[in-house]
Amino acid sequence: MQITKNPLSQQISGKIEKALNSKIVSATSLGGGSFAKVMRVGLSDGQTIVAKIAIGDNGKKLSIEGYMLEYLLKNTSLPTSKVYYYDDELLLVEYVEVNGNSSSYAQSSAAEYLATLHNITDKYYGFEKDTLIGGIVQTNSQRASWLDFFTNNRLLDMAEKAHNIGNLPASVMHHLDTFIARLPAYIDEPKQPSLIHGDIWTGNVLYRDGKVVAFIDPALYFADSEMELTFSTVYNSFGKDFFNKYNEIRPLSAEFFEVKRDIYNLYSLLVHNCLFGQSYAFAIDATLSKFI
């Protein structure tokens, strides 16, 4: 039965129904979208999907997100949402049922999935096009050196974005420059670039019946694989079972927990500084002070 009040515009409703060849029977807000309205949509053929509708001038970001999900589906074994349709205005993906938190089995399984993803390599760090993290465009121009890429495409690029909107003081920018000059003393070049999901935090790993069912909202690029592990520690996405299993498959560097985790977490802090304001500048400066 058709719903009596459809919160979606006639244009968006028409696009959804044409793309999936089915009538909309329900549409409710899921919330949580930083650059798009996120809706759970029920269809007359029994399907339930997620529709993301661009807010303001953010349309190209939906195209990037759709592209990243398709890339994972076509090129990797990482479980993620199926993509039904995307353009600059609308992204339609599978609705994934969840019913609980992680388990020891799920933690180990997540480690296996990500270790397998990280075994996918390339000649260069970066990606074939720019991607997104939290709605912010990540500059992915490809580079042969990880230190070069991490310095220019991650730390300096995101710091400049934060500084330009007034969230990162000039004094912290100066400390960042001092730190970057010393970075080769702390970080070695990895053996090879690894494909990473790029935004592994608790909300982006979905569980059902104690198992991992999907990794959503990717921020893809080729990197040092331990960038991925750093992001997972920001919100304690994984615990001991995850790290034990991952270390069995792809041994962690000796300096990961003592050095690299703090250094790579600078990028996460800079992203948060861009998104959520000046309070993160203090954490960035505190981390830099450990190394300068």
- Here the CATH number for the domain that contains residue 245 is 3.90.1200.10
Alpha carbon 28 to chain centroid distance? 24
Whole-number pLDDT of residue 237: 82
Q: Which of 157, 199, 224, 241 is catalytic?
A: 199
Q: Looking at the 3D structure of the chain, how many domains does it have? A: 2
| Residue at 77: amino acid letter | S
Domain end position, chosen among 66, 94, 122: 94
The verdict on 32 and 120 lying in the same domain is no
* Terminal C-alpha separation, the chain: 65
The verdict on 45 and 152 lying in the same domain is no
**Rg, the chain, Cα only:** 20
Domain end position, chosen among 61, 94, 127: 94
> What is the domain extent for residue 194?
104-289
Phi, psi of 258 (to 5 degrees): -90, -30
Domain end position, chosen among 65, 94, 123: 94
Phi, psi of 213 (to 5 degrees): -115, -20
Is 199 catalytic? The answer is yes
pTM: 0.94
Contact of 90 with 61, CB cutoff 8 Å: no
Give the CATH number for residue 22.
Answer: 3.30.200.20
For tokens 């991925």, name the residue. Answer: 228
The verdict on 181 and 125 lying in the same domain is yes
The verdict on 217 and 246 lying in the same domain is yes
Please check whether residue 255 lies inside any domain of the structure: yes
Please check whether residue 99 lies inside any domain of the structure: no
Chunked in runs of 10, what are the mean pLDDT values of the chain (292 residues)?
Answer: 66 95 94 82 96 84 96 98 95 92 89 98 97 94 98 98 96 97 96 96 90 95 97 85 96 95 96 93 96 94
